[in-house]
Amino acid sequence: MTELNKLTIAAARDALKAGDVTSVELTRACLTEIDAADALGAFVHKTPDLALEQAAAADTRIKAGDAPDMCGIPLGIKDLFCTKGVNSQAASAILNGFRPEYESTVSQNLLDAGAVMLGKLNMDEFAMGSSNETSVYGNAVNPWKVDGRNLTPGGSSGGSASAVAADLCLAATGTDTGGSIRQPAAFTGITGIKPTYGRCSRWGIVAFASSLDQAGPMTKDVRDAAIMLEAMCGHDPKDSTSADLPVPNFEAMLTGDIKGKVIGIPREYRMDGMPAEIEKLWSDGSAMLKDAGAEIRDISLPHTKYALPAYYVIAPAEASSNLARYDGVKYGHRAKLAAGDGINDMYEKTRAEGFGDEVQRRVMVGTYVLSAGFYDAYYNRARRVRNLIKRDFETVFAEGVDAILTPATPSAAFGLGEMADADPVKMYLNDVFTVTVNLAGLPGISVPAGLDAQGLPLGLQLIGRPWEEGDLLNFAQVLEDRAGFVAKPAKWW
Amino acid sequence: MSIDIETARKVAHLARIRVEEDRLPALAQEFNDILGFIEQLNEVDVEGIEPMTSVTPMRLKRRADVVTDGDQQEKILKNAPDAREGFFAVPKVVE
Residues 6+ apart with CB under 8 A from A287: none
Distance, in angstroms, between B57 CA and closest chain A CA? 10
Give, to the nearest 10 degrees, the angle between helix A357-370 and helix B24-38: 60
Which of A384, A429, A437 is the best substitution to test chain B (most B C-beta atoms within 10 A)?
Answer: A384
Chain A nearest C-alpha distance from B3 (Å): 10
At residue B1 the predicted structure's pLDDT band, cuts being 50, 70 and 90, is low
What is d(CA A183, CA A91) in angstroms, rounded to the nearest whole number?
Answer: 19
* pLDDT for res B2: 79
* Residue A117: predicted pLDDT: 98
Which chain B residue's Cα is nearest to A316? B34
- Determine whether the interchain pair B49/A384 forms a contact, defined as Cβ–Cβ distance below 8 Å: yes
What's the pLDDT at B60? 80
Would an 8 Å CB–CB cutoff place B66 in contact with chain A?
Answer: no
pLDDT of A2: 65
The pLDDT of residue A125 is 98
At residue A78, the 3 state secondary structure works out as strand
* Contact with chain A for residue B84, Cβ under 8 A: no
The interface predicted TM-score (ipTM) is: 0.95
Return the SS3 of A140.
coil
Q: Is A147 left (phi over 0), alpha (psi -120 to 50) or beta?
A: left
Do the Cβ atoms of A341 and B82 come within 8 Å? Answer: no
Average pLDDT, integer, range B77-86: 96
Partner-chain contact B60 A241, CB within 8 Å: yes
Per-residue confidence (pLDDT) for residue A274, from 0 to 100: 86
Least Cα distance to A404 among A444, A349, A453 occurs for A444
Task: Check residue A377 and report its DSSP letter.
Answer: I
Regions of chain A where pLDDT drops below 70: 1-2
Chain B: residue nearest A366 by CA? B15
Q: Per-residue pLDDT averaged across B43-63, rounded?
A: 90
CA B65/CA B50 separation, integer angstroms? 30
pLDDT score at B85: 94
Does B58 touch chain A if contact means CB atoms closer than 8 Å?
A: yes
How many of the other CB atoms lie within 10 Å of CB of A336? 9
On the 0-12 / 13-18 / 19+ scale of CB atoms within 10 A, B9 is middle
**Which member of A308, A337, A360 has the closest CB to residue B17?**
A360
Q: Across chain B, which distance is largest between two alpha carbons, in Å?
A: 58
Query: Which chain B residue shows the shortest CA-CA distance from A349?
Result: B18
Looking at residue A304, the DSSP 8-state letter turns out to be G
pLDDT, residue A85, reads: 98
Alpha helix ranges (H) inside A90-157: 105-112
Q: Do the beta carbons of residue A106 and residue A155 sit within 8 Å?
A: no
Best B27, B46, B55, B75 residue to mutate vs chain A (most A CBs within 10 Å): B55
Q: Which residues of A are catalytic?
A: 78, 156, 180
Residue A68 has what DSSP assignment? Answer: -
Residue B57 touches partner A, C-beta closer than 8 Å: no
Question: Three-state SS string across A147-160, please?
Answer: CCECECCCCCCHHH
Greatest Cα-to-Cα distance within chain A, rounded to the nearest angstrom:
74
Residues in A touching B40 (Cβ below 8 Å): 305-306, 309
Angle subtended at Cα A188 by Cα A186 and Cα A192, rounded to the nearest 5 degrees:
50
- Spatial separation of the C-alpha atoms in residues A131 and A159, rounded to whole Å: 10
State the virtual CA torsion across A319, A324, A326, A331 in degrees, nearest 10.
-110
H or E element at residue A354: helix A343-354
Query: What is the C-alpha separation between A47 and A262, in angstroms, rounded?
Result: 46
Spatial distance between the Cα atoms of A131 and A73, rounded to a whole number of angstroms: 28
The string over A341-372, giving b where at least 16 C-beta atoms fall within 10 Å of a residue's C-beta and e elsewhere, is: eebebbbbbbbbbbbbebbbbbbbbbbbbbbe
